[in-house]
Amino acid sequence: MPAVSSPHAPVPVSRTRVRVASDEGPPFDVVYERRGAGEPLVLLHGVGHHWQAWEPVFAALAASHDVVALDLPGFGASPELPAGHGYDAASAARQLAAVCTALGLERPHVAGNSLGGLLALELARTGRARSVTALAPAGFWTEHERKYAFAVLRSMRAGAAALPESAVRTLARSTAGRASLTGTIYARPGWRSPEAVVAETAALRDATGFEPVLASGRRPDALFRSDIPDVPVTLAWGDRDRVLLPRQGVRAKRVIPGAGLVRLRGCGHVPMNDDPAAVARTVLDTTAAARAASA
């Protein structure tokens, strides 16, 4: 397998955006990063994050795939959705299908983390993905677990909003400071570069889609209840996930019995940082399974 990117590499910035036409409302813009060649692979981040969460595994995936990492609408550098569009999973899946069309991606493989994992599964459910790797996907919680997860996320966002950027930069220079800023989502926060921590703290603070997504998550239809029998699916959970607890993986496996369930040892909620090699291997094994099935 190609070497994964160093967690301490400079944070890349993408200013590439696409204007997406939609039947549901006005056109909207999405910022993305695209590298590599081969079968298309779309990467989706979690709530409050940005596409750079995937940077530790980008090089390994782009060695064999045309990889497109998106800033979801209302997150990262992508502006919020115009009036007429929704942030619920079904609406988001239709928006992402339109993004894929605009980028010339025909039924891509999709890998997603947290919110992105739920959206990846929704794309597969509606026939728009050729394989799915869902890393700690949302939508398999009990009501108590949902309230707990949302409280954790809101606490992180409040902390990001309360700290001036100068304080964030000071904290990010030390391992202990990076742990205080991002230890909720990473099992190894010290592996994040100071620049990455500053950037993702700003992304969480400024995410205009944060509250609309959480509001949609309170709806009964936010739970994922559909089997996906015809698409290779891998569910992967970090055994140190403090946001969406690992037991939800067993529940997800019951909903999608044909899916593989992978435990990512020593990983937190955003495992791409904690074990990039294991995450890249999990994604590539899933895309290879789709190729074998189609052959």
Q: What is the pLDDT of residue 220?
A: 87
- pLDDT tier for residue 17 given thresholds of 50, 70 and 90: very high
pLDDT of residue 193: 96
Quote the distance between the C-alpha of residue 124 and its chain's center: 15
Average pLDDT, the chain: 95
Q: How many percent of the chain have pLDDT more than 70?
A: 96
Give the tens place of pLDDT for each residue, 52-82.
Answer: 999 999 999 999 999 999 999 999 999 999 9
The ranges assigned to domains in the chain are 17-294
At 6 the pLDDT is: 47
- The per-residue pLDDT for 12 is 79
CB atoms within 10 A of CB 231: 25
User: What is the band of 4 on the pLDDT scale with cuts at 50, 70, 90?
Assistant: low
Secondary structure letter of residue 33 according to DSSP: E
Q: Which pairing describes strands 109-113 and 65-70: parallel, antiparallel, or unpaired?
A: unpaired
Residue 23 pLDDT:
84
Least confident of 7-11, 154-158, 160-164: 7-11
Give the whole-angstrom CA distance, residue 223 versus residue 71. Answer: 23
Edge to edge, the sheet with strand 39-44 lists 17-20, 28-35, 65-70, 39-44, 109-113, 131-135, 233-238, 260-264
Residue with the bigger pLDDT between 22 and 256: it is: 256
- Angle at CA of residue 63, ends 60 and 69, nearest 5°: 70
176: which residues sit within 8 A by CB, 6+ positions away? none
**Alpha carbon distance 78, 168 (integer Å):** 23
pLDDT for residue 94 is more than 80 = yes
Residue 253's pLDDT band (cuts 50, 70, 90): very high
Domain 17-294, CATH among 3.40.50.1820, 3.40.50.1360, 3.40.50.2300, 3.10.150.10 = 3.40.50.1820
State residue 211's pLDDT score: 97
Q: Comparing 79 with 23, which gets the higher pLDDT?
A: 79
Strands 131-135 and 233-238, by their bridges, are parallel
Check if the beta carbon of residue 95 is closer than 8 Å to that of residue 20. yes
Q: Residue 125: which residues within 8 A CB-CB, separation 6 or more?
A: 93, 226, 228
| φ, ψ (nearest 5 deg) of residue 19 | -90, 125
User: What pLDDT score was predicted for residue 7?
Assistant: 47
Q: pTM of the entire structure? A: 0.95
Average of pLDDT values for 114-124? 98
**Percent residues over pLDDT 90 in the chain:** 92
| pLDDT at residue 45 greater than cutoff 80 | yes
pLDDT digits over 206-246, tens only? 999 999 999 999 998 899 999 999 999 999 999 999 999 99
Calculate the CA 39 to chain-centre distance.
19
pLDDT digits (tens, 9 = 90+) for 160-185: 999 999 999 999 999 999 999 999 99
pLDDT of residue 13: 72
On the question of pLDDT at 2 being above 50, the answer is no
Region 32-50: what's the mean pLDDT? 98
